[in-house]
Chains A and B, each alone.
Chain A
């Protein structure tokens, strides 16, 4: 419990840091948002009024403080330069679609990447391993958006097997999910293979063999869990990849999610929208990493004991009287 609280507290300064960085970036960005918002033809009075309305007449520190205050107290992310709909409600309405896409992407990454990587490792020095390793290398070289375009050309335009725009039917989801998961699968495969190879060379695997266990039992009971524990940590990284990729892939497949919203903000230099999008995504990555850390503490006994999340508490000194003279 202490561990979870500790990790939670660590997230807060990181998020504030992200807000400061992103805010500073947009503050010093070239271009005058006031004139952009007013369009053409305005008087100096109109300009000043608009600047005051947007809060841009204040100093950097004041603006940053008020942005942070609004964010923390009211979850208020400000307003778009062009529409009067608050950004947070726009984001909320788009969040489910993006979240679903991201979630399916991660699930696909894990379900395909980890088993293939493990398979590859335990079949080391076979044709299967060479084939899978080569496949992962090729997959890692294809950016999601390039793959999306190629898939559209092949499956959508040439073969006409799959729809390429929107998300009306389950069939519409196939390409967006597959193309966003693809690069992550390659990374996951490679990582799993390396980790598993490391694990099956450990002494405790030889110990398990010397006990007379079957090879399958050794893999399942002794190797698998030791391999999965470090892999848990890269799920956060995969999530980040999928999210960042979604800005491009949602746009390619004309999906009305956060990515498309941000894309619109980027092309029209609508900084509050871009800023809000970056913050939301960074926040999601932080939360995923937090969950991963907590999960980690539950599966790894080494961390479990440090933070007192354990099955049975030890009370007396564990050394039998007279049997042991050592302390540590």
Chain B
């Protein structure tokens, strides 16, 4: 059985003038122990998808319109508030993009880690404090610093604290929303290495949100490429990386420098993503696509399976007809 199975998840934000279609009919699955990379540019709906899983969408204006999110066979979207809270932080936990603001400035980091342990593990405050110090040690921070406040830590150290909070109850699924984007490049590798090691140690599944294909290649077992609220290409790491089929995926690979190939210049994808409040009919990528034809906007594109463990949302992908 899959650990997480998202089916037809659709999330919208109702603004005064218009409705923002942030996530449209997204299907994803994560097997136990697996790491799924969710890749896409800013505004593609990655973060909204992640928050949707934990039902952390600000309502109003946001709303989960339809879909199912099965976690260990139970639909999270149908759970009561109390059931959902029992899952958050215990079975599924989340790491946020910006460690600078993710920690409460007026509580010590020890308190913030112990809080989640005390809440879910039914242990005494003293035991929770003890375990929070162990967590600090695990993420490479001296346990004596448990009594200090977030502002006394650097960005990389804060992200370690956030990771300690997320992993404190040994969750089955860790959702990491661009965990290293806000950090210095040198710190990024450290934090990622540590996350990988801890994930393997605790046998945690992970949904890793990123726009860095290099990170995906190093970390993930499977990849989903997201564009304008939709999954446009989805499959195992090898299939997608060795045989990318969607023009957008191809574009993403074309816009990163490579050490092995000599190219005149990088080829960025021209144009911009459509406004999520005014999505075009048919293929959402049509405007920027080099291979587009009239048929692209006639019908809604569906995900087609082009080989085992590899689906693409493009009518031309099936026959390999580029």
Contacts and interface: CB of A to CB of B under 8 A. Distances in A.
A305 B149 contact: yes
Given A204-B102, A212-B88, A320-B140, A326 B156 contact: yes
Contacts of B162: 207
Contact of A212 (B58, B86, B144, B156): B86
Interface string B131-159: 00000010011101101110110101100
B54 interface: yes
A74 interface: no
Interface string B75-96: 0000000000111111001101
Nearest to A202: B101
B104 A222 contact: yes
- Which of A211, A300, A320 counts the most chain B CB atoms within 10 A? A211
Contact of B165 (A211, A229, A319): A211
Given A213-B115, A301-B151, A207 B156 contact: no
A214 B80 CA distance: 12
Nearest to B119: A212
Contacts of B85: 212-214
A324 interface: yes
Interface in A197-225: 201-204, 206-214, 221-222, 225
Nearest to A225: B106
A326 B147 CA distance: 20
A158 interface: no
Contacts of A125: 60
A212 B96 contact: no
Nearest to B120: A212
Chain A, interface residues (CB within 8 Å), range: 35 or more
Given A212-B85, A314-B148, A206 B56 contact: yes
Given A213-B119, A302-B151, A324-B156, A208 B106 contact: no
A33 to B, nearest CB: 54
B268 interface: no
Nearest to B94: A210
A300 B142 contact: no
Interface of B: 51, 54, 56, 58, 60, 85-90, 93-94, 96, 98, 101-108, 115-116, 119-120, 137, 140-142, 144-145, 147-149, 151-152, 154, 156-157, 162, 165, 184, 186-187, 190
11 contacts: A210-B54, A211-B89, A212-B86, A212-B87, A221-B107, A229-B106, A311-B147, A324-B141, A326-B154, A326-B187, A328-B154
Given A226-B106, A324-B190, 5 more contacts: A207-B165, A210-B93, A211-B89, A213-B119, A221-B115
